[in-house]
Amino acid sequence: MHPPRNRTPRPKTLTRTSSSLNYPLIQPGIAPLSDGPKARSASRFYILPTLCKALRPIVLFVFSASVPALCGCGSTERPVAIFLPMPQAIELVNRNNEQISGRLYGAGRWWGKITFADGTFKTLDGTFRLHYARPSRLCFQTKGFGGKYFEVGCNEADCWFWEQFEKDVMTIGTRQAMADAAMERGIPINAEDLMDALGVQLVDADTIGTNGARYRVDADHHQLLYEQVVGAGQAVITKEYWLSRREPFLIERVLYRGADGRVIMDARLSDHERLAEGGALVSKRVEIEWPLNQCALKLNFDRLKLYSDLDKIEFVSPDQREALDARLRPPAETLRRP
């Protein structure tokens, strides 16, 4: 009879048995003692909860930082407004607009509200094309369902407004004559105002003469105020350019006022886009209101490009285009304002 061997009692591994499995049951804080494949597999299940618990703060931090950026709701804090002296503010605008040295072409969608002299109105939308060449050539053509709605244009000699609402008629004349005609017909859109509203014209750099601008600064804009003498020698503000105090320091608003101080035209510009690398910035969104006439025009440019050719047929008044291209139909009626 052999004496009993001295052996250290080995703890029993708790097991759970089923018809197809016989694996160690891991209790919290107790690792399996065996070194077999089943033990290594079970140890993974033991380590995973601990690892996840340790990584949870890191995952939450990354998630909270990345989600606002992905959904576009990150920080929207605006840059600090910068004060510029008046000559410097004007120089930055003119330096940008001087780069529009060729023919500016634009196209996109438009929406408008037109109120006629008898109080009736139309809301219209469609596509538009625009041609502009400094200093005084413009052609703005709109189209909608069923054809053309209206065209506004000017060149060195004339300005015109070609409408196709109730009848097919074009009014043509000098700048002042067309400005008067616009107010009479209740549709105040004219080429001179439209060029200003686009923010592409050069700003008068006179800061000290009798016609020089006054300067006013608010929280967001450098305001250039131009006066005109009316009535009994009284000077009133008739035009305002609001230049942004943040880069790129360009025109964001244009106001025309009447002799009584009421706003005649209010144009707001936003979403400036560069025409080419290192080129001029031009507004892609222009919203114009004529509050006294209850008219409005909104332009969303899908395309803006600068071309070198300036001799476009669109810069010729519509009643003379047929002589240059027989395919082009002239207005049914042409009225010339003296």
pLDDT for 177-218, tens place per residue?
887 777 676 678 889 899 999 999 999 988 776 678 999 999
Which phi and psi angles does 203 have, rounded to 5°? -90, 140
* Region 86-336: CATH code: 2.50.20.10
- Centroid of chain to Cα 289: 17
Domain ranges in the chain with CATH number 2.50.20.10: 86-336
Output the CA torsion sign for 183, 186, 187, 188.
positive
Q: Write down the pLDDT at residue 146.
A: 67
Q: Which two tokens stand for residue 296?
A: 């409005």
Q: Write down the pLDDT at residue 116.
A: 78
Helix, strand and coil in the chain, % to nearest 5: 20, 40, 40
Q: Which two tokens stand for residue 317?
A: 């008044």
Ranges of beta strands (E only) in the chain are: 15-17, 22-24, 103-115, 121-133, 137-144, 147-154, 159-164, 168-173, 214-217, 221-230, 234-244, 251-257, 263-274, 281-290, 295-307, 333-336
Q: Which two tokens stand for residue 12?
A: 């029993």
Q: Write down the pLDDT at residue 126.
A: 94
Residue ranges in the chain modelled with pLDDT below 50: 1, 12-34, 39, 42, 45-46, 63, 65, 67-69
Ranges of beta strands (E only) in 9-158 are: 15-17, 22-24, 103-115, 121-133, 137-144, 147-154
